[in-house]
Structure 1
Amino acid sequence: MTLTTHILGYPRIGAKRELKFAEESYWKGEIQQVDFLAEAQAVEAANWQAQVDAGISILTVGDFVLYDSVLTHAVRLGIIPARFKDAAKLNQVDQQFYLARGRAPNCSDVAALEMTKWFDTNYHYLVPELNSAQEFKADFSDLFAQVERAKAFNKPLKVVVPGLLTFLYLSRIVDTYETLETKQHTCECNITQREVAANQATLQFIDALLPIYAALFDELKARGVDYVQLDEPALVLDLEPEWQTAFERVYHLLQRRDGLKLIVATYFESLGANLNLAVNLPVAGLHIDISREKAGEFFWKKVIDQLPAHKILSLGLINGRSVWASDLTALNDIVQTAQKSLGDRLWLSSSCSLLHVPVDLDSEIIPAEVNGKLAFARQKLNELVALAQGNIYANAKLSPTTTQTFNLVAQSRPDTFSARFEAQQEKLKLPLLPTTTIGSFPQTTEIRAARAAWNKGDLTQAAYEAAMQKEIAYAIQQQEQLGLDVLVHGEAERTDMVEYFAGLLDGFWLSKFGWVQSYGSRCVRPPIIVGDIQRPNTMTVKWIQYANSLTDKIVKGMLTGPVTILNWSFPPAHRSRREVCLQLAEAIRLEVADLQAAGIGIIQIDEAAFREGLPLRKADQAEYWDWAVKSFKHCSSSSRIDTQIHTHMCYSDFKDCLQQITTMDADVITIETSRSGLQLLEVFHEQGYPNAIGPGVYDIHSPRTPTADNMRTVIDAALKTIPAERLWINPDCGLKTRNWAETKAALAELVSMAKQVRQELESQAA
């Protein structure tokens, strides 16, 4: 008997990043909306066709969105924050882009929605902003249009919708009402707001959303939809009692008895303590992710044992976050055991949406050592169908070869921050409120053209290096003219902050077309770790030395930290993350030593993904923090007392890991604050963070140019919580996605405001 197959979602960028390029062309005004939507729908149709061609039983509809599924759902529900008042002029497509980017045609520039990580992945979602008097005006017409287009494929349809409770869990309340007993902060949009700190406050909107969900289900049923997949990954978290009770209430009120089958989808972890809650929700079926189960746990057996006899169980067998080929023999044993208990109530699926892996492996030239060991999204469809049909075959040996004896003991700097800070101030002689950027500058057309010609062999190594030196010289010149205090070389030679280093370290394979969506139109190409990590040569020294030779100002050395390289790569199938991370830390430690020997006095070790890999369950987090912190401290351990170590973190919730950030003991941390408001700085202050901080004073992911007043708001708020001598002024993140006109305009405002505040502070001290 062939079992029912489906997936939770498919990559929406297109095999050749068609959606990205169409989106960016539309934003630039190069194509009309009708043409953009035609290109987007072509990708959508190709995704459906891939599922049909593979033999997937049920077609997944609604996972294809233009920017982010949480954002799309918020706009469909009419959740438009007050500062986006011009959104009323726009249709749903442009409303989504306006909320995500802070800019739209014929609209005022405003602060974009907060963006943060989707659970423990490198995908970012846009955080919906509710107010205490929120009204919902639902419009699902675009989803219904998708359903009608999908009917042409003559398959049973399953529509994906964000679960009501996970949507509320991921949202936040932002209000202007004086009656709310909450902490006040001022956002970069310069609107005084109040944020409800307890996340269960969003539960107040259940009663308003229930009839909207019920009406949506009725309409989908009327249109011939067979199943609705309600994504509720919040069910794998350590839920508070209020949320557990809410799940019971919501699904008892939403249960349908008239043909439409609701499937609650959980992923990224096992259900843990929420097992009894999840299996007893009054729905037709439950999806669980077994790819994240611990060795020997067999949690899926517990689910089967407690699942009511009438329910479907969808087993997430094919790992939607790994590029390694599945062990079909081992998975088939699970299928056979589960089928004995469930019969045709057993469905087979991907563990989560496949948007976290590249689209198709067929276009790659695969090296012999990993040939037959990999599977991208298209190949995972084939694996899924093979399992369902009992067509079991053995893949190549899955574990990459490890030859190096691993006995590395993590090291750390011996001196205290206060001693280092004094030595660094004496050496560097930085002004009060020093200004800098996070590292990268615009990746121009000229840079991309030179790199493409070099990769094709049309440009010699010497000519390519000369082209990059020209771009570095331009970046240094612009920074000097702007008046920045600490400069960067701009990273013209780097395609990506992780991919660049992976290409210079042993133990990685870089795919050519393995793009994965990070947010919106931003795509990354995660390296694949295939063996031991070693640094055969220096990686950054010659570029930083060249930049340093062009100016009398300080130029930072720019490195990516070991935790971020690991979390933004596809890890090996059968090696511990701790071992791999410490190998990476050793490679970065050697690079720090070489930069220091070359005369570089400030070295930034970016750890943008430091929190991202944190296990979702508190019981599992201590082990991660142990090796993550030790890895960072190890890679900075080769620095002298007067060498200043910076790190950078962004677009994650750091409130629950400040102790670990403090233990990392970087001399300066630069963090994102403009999208998330300044509540993070309050946390740093409340918990007594002792080292220097550079809060981002403007959002680089928005094309809007921030005003000096916007930046002054952030600086003034920061000075209330951070001593002036430990405060840096910088943007939120790197500037590679912006153009030079935007970059120079924003940085000119940044430098001007920093100098103004510096003068005021010096006058007060005089």
Structure 2
Amino acid sequence: MAQSSVLGFPRVGPMREVKKALEAFWSGKSSAEELQKVATTERLRTYSIMKEQGVEIIPTGTFSLYDHVLDISATVGVVPPQYANSGLNELDRYFAMARGHQKNGVDLPAQEMQKWFDSNYHYIVPEFTEDSTFSLQSTKPIDDFVEAKKAGYNARPVIVGPITLIAIGKVGAAAKSESFDTMTLLPKLAAVYGELLAKLSEAGAEWVQIDEPVLCLDRAASLSSEFKQTYESFAKAAPKLNILLATYFGRLDKNLDFVKDLPIAGLHIDLDRAPEQLDAVLAAVKDKKTVLSLGLVSGRNIWKTDLTAALATAKKAIEALGDAKRVIVASTSSLQHTPITTANEKKLPADVLDWFSFATEKCAEVATLAAALRDASSASSILEANEKSIKARRDFEKNSNPAVRERLAAIKPEDYNRKSDFSVRSKVQREHLKLPLFPTTTIGSFPQTKEIRAYRARFTKGDISSEEYEKFLEDEIRDVVKRQEAMGLDVLVHGEPERNDMVQYFGELLEGFVFTQNAWVQSFGSRYVRPPVIVSDVSRPTAMTVRWSKFAQSLTEKPMKGMLTGPVTILNWSFPRADVSREIQARQIGLALRDEVTDLEQAGISSIQVDEPAIREGLPLREEDHTAYLKWAVESFRLATSGVTDACNVVSHFCYSDFANRQIMESILNLDADMVSIENSKAGAKILRTFRDVKYSQDIGPGVFDIHSPRVPTSEEMYERIVAFTKVLDKSNIWVNPDCGLKTRTWDECTKQCEAMVQAAIKARKELA
């Protein structure tokens, strides 16, 4: 009969135990042994949760202390020479690759991070050169499997596939040529994977899940021979091991033509993101013995699954294949993109909480579907309750705000455009702001200290009054402004002490969102966020940031930036509604922000930053879907920012974006921002050449230091980066800033980093003027 499975599980711990253990280890307050003890406890806890919910096939190897991509890189030896030859032990080297290392005479920057396909999860980018060699340097996948097997679980090891690993990697700095084709390394890498698979088989694994989400991209169509050769080599290396090839986040499309003939025992497909692919997949595998894993329960959203509809899909697959044993009911992807359990939510109204399904509940949904396929009567009461819950949510969604929809319908073409072109605006703004060459600024946030978090918690609990809390925030802003003036920065920010998160903060002040207490989702490493949930039409009942920006400006003669999160980022970093399009939701948020932007300017704020780091991650995986998405994404930003005068300096910020993508670059041009700041400290001039090639004429602030690392680069190191910028860009258009916000750094770290940055800018003014 059909079995149940999930592709992975959150790794933070029910109350963020792993985050706390990591940060204690990094700060020197606990040992490596204590950290590993917590890791073992949480791994076994996740297996237990899945089994208790009824999941029959338990994934292993998905738990990570930082990043599953970094895990497989460390396992098969994708380790750049500077880390391999650092003299650090295995764990310290692992964390050096993730977040840098600067002590005991060892000075290593962190490796680059990028977004995992179209999710808000960041992975550590693998680096390759012509001289890369690979070897099995860790037994983590084997150890995790053996641990689960000994504990009595029906375990299936999970590893990121070699073709995806290379495809999401980059040419390392030590390469002889930037155009080096990294895929030429595949045979050497595949041989090490083959060794790993053989050892898993020897350890007793009967199945292994190999994740190849690259198969949902257009570029995979050119890799058919690479897939054929690689997976044939796997069949020879581990002939007794059944391979489940896992795809997710999109559709196979034409890649199915060669995937169906690979020597694999099973194929997993995402039927939430791409339900239309089912018929083609069924036709392709019908006459084979291939087991089909059906991704019916979303690993990306928090809504309850429509179990009746999912059950109908599973029955269709069984009927087409003729054997229920050839079907696995599964989550669409790893559940790491969802919170752990609704049981931790104590403040949501019961009727609202009933709409949701987090990782633990999704495990139960998968198990319910498998049970219903075996015996419909055994799950009848659950299916009936689920149907009532789905209907209740649909009924609520219909009762949206008609005023918001009417305003959206009344938008005119001129609402998307600034009053003048940048060539006119820039002259007005330079006169108004009176900035030096290479003006310095930061991206917005400064350290969220323990004291700030403690005061916020006390205010949330009602232990202090609004007046006490606001007085505390004013004192924090005074301190931040004084610190920035002492650093010598040119354009200041208020530091955002009132904000818990760059999306959650705005969601809490907008109509149409609901919020959780403990629905944490991993962004990277020990960084977790609680995405808001959009449940109805979005509007702004009152000003959100004006009070704090206006107060901060009153403390200084220097320009103060207003700080907002853009409409597409708010959408992409929230869990969106399921009943209306993402386009409608983005435009509604854009209208709400438009009111805030104009209010900020009227309050005397002459520079307003509207961050859109998530435009890239919302980009559909297939190129044919790009144009429509980018059109409404750009228009949503312009809707938010086009209501101000020429004197207002509109800024946007981007990190982890795909600037090599021509459509992305054209979209950034079309935003018509006066200045964009970008994450660039680890990219050198490569990204900037792309800006030059598309004739980008507005101002740009390439990051000169990595904010995810505690490492403090020297001012000379930053100066050399500025010099490199001037070889690609017009110096009159260059701003100097960090890669991103500084909320995760300590004051000691970011003060030293910013002071070095200012000194670098001062030297550049003298030397390059």
> Deviations 1:274-324 (Å, cap 9, x if unpaired)?
11112221110000001112xxx6321210111142110000000100101
Q: What is the match of residue 620 of structure 2?
A: 615
Quick check: 2:566–2:590 contact (8 Å CA) kept in 1?
yes
Q: What is the match of residue 303 of structure 1?
A: 281
SS in 2 for 1:652: coil
The whole-number CA distance in structure 2 between the counterparts of 1:408 and 1:159 is 54
Q: What is the match of residue 522 of structure 1?
A: 527
Bigger mean CA offset, 720-729 vs 140-149: 140-149
SS in 2 for 1:603: strand
2:646 aligned with 1:641: yes
Shift of residue 82 of structure 1? 2.4
Bigger mean CA offset, 247-256 vs 544-553: 247-256
Quick check: 1:87–1:98 contact (8 Å CA) kept in 2?
no
The whole-number CA distance in structure 2 between the counterparts of 1:111 and 1:163 is 26
Q: What is the match of residue 401 of structure 2?
A: 403
Q: What is the match of residue 29 of structure 1?
A: 28
Q: What is the match of residue 376 of structure 2?
A: none
- Choose the corresponding residue for 1:229, options 209, 219, 224: 209
- Partner amino acid, structure 2, of 1:670: S
Q: What is the match of residue 384 of structure 1?
A: 366
Q: What is the match of residue 274 of structure 1?
A: 255
The whole-number CA distance in structure 2 between the counterparts of 1:126 and 1:678 is 20
The whole-number CA distance in structure 1 between the counterparts of 2:363 and 2:563 is 40
Shift of residue 104 of structure 1? 6.2
Shift of residue 484 of structure 1? 0.5
Quick check: 2:22–2:35 contact (8 Å CA) kept in 1?
yes
- Choose the corresponding residue for 1:212, options 185, 192, 206: 192
The whole-number CA distance in structure 1 between the counterparts of 2:685 and 2:656 is 13
- Partner amino acid, structure 1, of 2:684: G
Shift of residue 366 of structure 1? 2.3
> Structure 2 matches for 1:697-708, cutoff 5 A?
697-708=704-715
1:454–1:127 distance in 2 versus 1, CA, 3 Å? same
The whole-number CA distance in structure 2 between the counterparts of 1:509 and 1:176 is 48
Bigger mean CA offset, 268-277 vs 72-81: 72-81
Query: If each structure's helix is expressed as a fraction of its own residues, which one has the higher value?
Result: 2
- Choose the corresponding residue for 2:115, options 114, 117, 123: 117
2:610 aligned with 1:605: yes
The whole-number CA distance in structure 1 between the counterparts of 2:277 and 2:401 is 34
> Deviations 1:126-176 (Å, cap 9, x if unpaired)?
111122111112123222221221023323221001111111111222254
Quick check: 1:611–1:654 contact (8 Å CA) kept in 2?
no
> Deviations 1:170-210 (Å, cap 9, x if unpaired)?
12222546xx4x4xxxxxxxxxxxx236xxx1222122122
> Structure 2 matches for 1:137-216, cutoff 5 A?
137-174=135-172, 176=174, 180=176, 182=177, 195-196=178-179, 201-216=181-196
Quick check: 2:719–2:763 contact (8 Å CA) kept in 1?
no
- Partner amino acid, structure 1, of 2:366: L
- Partner amino acid, structure 2, of 1:117: K
> Deviations 1:623-655 (Å, cap 9, x if unpaired)?
101100000111011110110000000022222
> Structure 2 matches for 1:265-344, cutoff 5 A?
265-293=246-274, 298-307=276-285, 308-342=287-321, 343=323, 344=325
TM-score, length of structure 2 as denominator length: 0.94
- Partner amino acid, structure 2, of 1:153: A
Bigger mean CA offset, 75-84 vs 594-603: 75-84
The whole-number CA distance in structure 2 between the counterparts of 1:336 and 1:241 is 30
> Deviations 1:41-68 (Å, cap 9, x if unpaired)?
1111111001110111111100111111
1:548–1:513 distance in 2 versus 1, CA, 3 Å? same
1:318–1:146 distance in 2 versus 1, CA, 3 Å? same
Shift of residue 107 of structure 1? 5.3
- Partner amino acid, structure 2, of 1:331: A
2:571 aligned with 1:566: yes
The whole-number CA distance in structure 2 between the counterparts of 1:260 and 1:761 is 62
Quick check: 1:531–1:572 contact (8 Å CA) kept in 2?
yes
Quick check: 1:703–1:738 contact (8 Å CA) kept in 2?
yes
The whole-number CA distance in structure 1 between the counterparts of 2:484 and 2:307 is 55
Quick check: 2:76–2:193 contact (8 Å CA) kept in 1?
no
Shift of residue 530 of structure 1? 0.6
SS in 1 for 2:535: strand
1:730–1:701 distance in 2 versus 1, CA, 3 Å? same
Q: What is the match of residue 487 of structure 2?
A: 482
The whole-number CA distance in structure 2 between the counterparts of 1:725 and 1:596 is 25
> Structure 2 matches for 1:657-676, cutoff 5 A?
657-676=664-683
Shift of residue 534 of structure 1? 0.6
> Structure 2 matches for 1:52-131, cutoff 5 A?
52-84=51-83, 87-91=86-90, 93-103=91-101, 106=104, 108-131=106-129
> Deviations 1:398-455 (Å, cap 9, x if unpaired)?
4324232341525221310000001111111111111000000000111011011111
Shift of residue 18 of structure 1? 0.8
Q: What is the match of residue 424 of structure 1?
A: 429
The whole-number CA distance in structure 1 between the counterparts of 2:470 and 2:160 is 48
The whole-number CA distance in structure 2 between the counterparts of 1:580 and 1:459 is 35
The whole-number CA distance in structure 2 between the counterparts of 1:457 and 1:530 is 26
SS in 2 for 1:89: coil
1:464–1:428 distance in 2 versus 1, CA, 3 Å? same
- Partner amino acid, structure 2, of 1:660: S
Q: What is the match of residue 453 of structure 1?
A: 458
**Aligned residue pair count:** 739
SS in 2 for 1:255: helix
Q: What is the match of residue 355 of structure 2?
A: 373
1:75–1:87 distance in 2 versus 1, CA, 3 Å? farther
The whole-number CA distance in structure 1 between the counterparts of 2:401 and 2:495 is 36
TM-score, length of structure 1 as denominator length: 0.94
SS in 2 for 1:396: helix
The whole-number CA distance in structure 1 between the counterparts of 2:353 and 2:524 is 30
2:443 aligned with 1:438: yes
> Deviations 1:372-417 (Å, cap 9, x if unpaired)?
2110000000111111111233233243242323415252213100
Q: What is the match of residue 338 of structure 2?
A: 357
> Deviations 1:550-577 (Å, cap 9, x if unpaired)?
1111110001100000000000011111
Shift of residue 686 of structure 1? 1.3
The whole-number CA distance in structure 1 between the counterparts of 2:81 and 2:604 is 51
SS in 2 for 1:263: strand
| Alignment RMSD | 1.5
Q: What is the match of residue 10 of structure 1?
A: 9
SS in 2 for 1:12: coil
The whole-number CA distance in structure 1 between the counterparts of 2:255 and 2:222 is 13
Point out 4+ residue stretches in structure 1 off by more than 3 angstroms.
85-88, 104-107
Q: What is the match of residue 186 of structure 1?
A: none
The whole-number CA distance in structure 2 between the counterparts of 1:216 and 1:10 is 22
Quick check: 1:562–1:632 contact (8 Å CA) kept in 2?
yes
Bigger mean CA offset, 215-224 vs 591-600: 215-224
Q: What is the match of residue 727 of structure 2?
A: 720
Q: What is the match of residue 375 of structure 2?
A: none
> Deviations 1:7-29 (Å, cap 9, x if unpaired)?
11100111111111100100000
1:12–1:445 distance in 2 versus 1, CA, 3 Å? same
SS in 1 for 2:108: coil
SS in 1 for 2:101: coil
> Identity of aligned pairs, percent?
41
Bigger mean CA offset, 365-374 vs 659-668: 365-374
Bigger mean CA offset, 154-163 vs 688-697: 154-163
